[in-house]
């Protein structure tokens, strides 16, 4: 039997797909054959155009995912536009930086709400339909800080560690119902969010010296992993956090 990476006939929902990793994942899913719904605060004009250029359908859902208030509406609009949600990619996230001794409750709550609470409840809402149809795929975006503590980002480290834990918890309960839940932990990826790091000559050199492959990752590196985890090729993979980091964690 041929191993299938095809997503023909599938419908995917991707959060935070305006640029960077989310955009690359959304476009790659479309290239693999899926129709795609996008959910987020920003207008993903470029992403929509790239998806439609593949010949696949694209639905845009305006939603502020900093709280769980729009969660059910997002699922309902995705189903209304695409007929179903077979694949959910929880990519939307934020980060707040400050010294530990003065880190605020506001910054703690903002990151935890967006990166962990909304992720769980959106997954819960999507999983209900997946279970009814007998299968589905949930892909969460974790981080190297799922495994490490980082510096000056305590709420982000806590949230992304939580993403790893909740990925496994969901996988345990949903696997018998035909739904696989996994996560991707990106390494240092070249995006708008990391432009300052790349522009800092000293920090950029330190990062590259630590990465065995000797280069920053490209959003497409994450997109390939997402297509695998969304496809039939990964039907026996669940509860796994896949580091796509150029070997950073192995160093």
| Each residue's pLDDT tens digit, 48-87 | 999 999 999 999 999 999 999 999 999 999 999 999 999 9
Q: Dump pLDDT digits (tens) for 108-154.
A: 999 999 999 999 999 999 999 999 999 999 999 999 999 999 999 99
Rounded distance, CA 120 to CA 228, Å?
22
The dihedral through the CA atoms of 171, 120, 24, 61 has a sign that is: positive
Q: Which of 185, 202, 9 is nearest to 87 (CA)?
A: 9
Domain ranges in the chain are: 11-191+219-242
Beta-carbon contacts of 219 under 8 Å, excluding residues fewer than 6 positions away, are 20, 21, 23, 24, 25, 189, 190, 191
- Concerning whether 188 is annotated as a catalytic residue, the answer is no
Q: Dump pLDDT digits (tens) for 189-226.
A: 999 888 888 999 999 999 999 999 999 999 999 999 99
Q: Dump pLDDT digits (tens) for 31-47.
A: 999 999 999 999 999 99
Query: Which residues face 39 on adjacent strands?
Result: 15, 61
Say whether pLDDT at 1 is over 60: no
Beta-carbon contacts of 13 under 8 Å, excluding residues fewer than 6 positions away, are 36, 37, 38, 39, 74, 75, 78, 85, 87, 88, 89, 126
Tell me how far CA of residue 189 lies from CA of 167, 177, 194, in angstroms: 22, 34, 7
Say whether pLDDT at 172 is over 60: yes
Write down the CATH superfamily of domain 11-191+219-242. Answer: NAD(P)-binding Rossmann-like Domain (3.40.50.720)
End-to-end CA distance of the chain: 37
CA-angle at 158, arms to 75 and 230, nearest 5°: 40
3 pLDDT tier (thresholds 50, 70, 90): confident
Active-site residue, selected from the candidate residues 120, 156, 216, 248: 156
Alpha helices in 32-103 (DSSP H): 45-52, 71-82
Q: Which of 150, 154, 145 is nearest to 98 (CA)?
A: 154
């Amino acid at each position: 039997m041929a191993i299938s990476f095809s997503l023909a006939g599938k419908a995917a929902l991707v959060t935070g797909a305006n640029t960077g990793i989310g955009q690359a994942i959304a476009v790659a899913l479309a290239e693999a054959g899926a129709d795609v719904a996008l959910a987020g605060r920003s207008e993903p004009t470029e992403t929509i155009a790239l998806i439609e250029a593949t010949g696949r359908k694209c639905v845009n859902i305006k939603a502020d995912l900093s709280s769980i208030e729009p969660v059910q509406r997002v699922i309902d609009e995705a189903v209304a536009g695409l007929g179903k949600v077979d694949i959910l990619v929880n990519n939307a996230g934020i980060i707040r930086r400050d010294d530990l001794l003065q880190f605020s409750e506001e910054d703690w709550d903002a990151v935890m709400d967006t990166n962990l609470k909304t992720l769980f409840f959106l997954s819960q809402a999507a999983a209900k339909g997946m279970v009814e149809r007998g299968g589905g795929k949930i892909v969460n975006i974790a981080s190297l800080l799922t495994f490490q503590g980082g510096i000056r980002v305590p709420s982000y480290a806590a949230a992304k560690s939580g993403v790893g834990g909740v990925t496994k918890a969901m996988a345990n309960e949903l696997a018998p119902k035909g739904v696989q839940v996994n996560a991707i932990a990106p390494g240092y990826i070249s995006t708008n969010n990391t432009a300052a790091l790349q522009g800092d000559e000293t920090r950029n050199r330190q990062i590259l010296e630590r990465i065995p492959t000797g280069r920053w990752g490209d959003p497409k590196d994450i997109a390939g992993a997402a297509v695998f985890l969304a496809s039939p090729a990964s039907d026996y993979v669940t509860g796994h956090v896949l580091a796509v980091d150029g070997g950073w964690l192995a160093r």
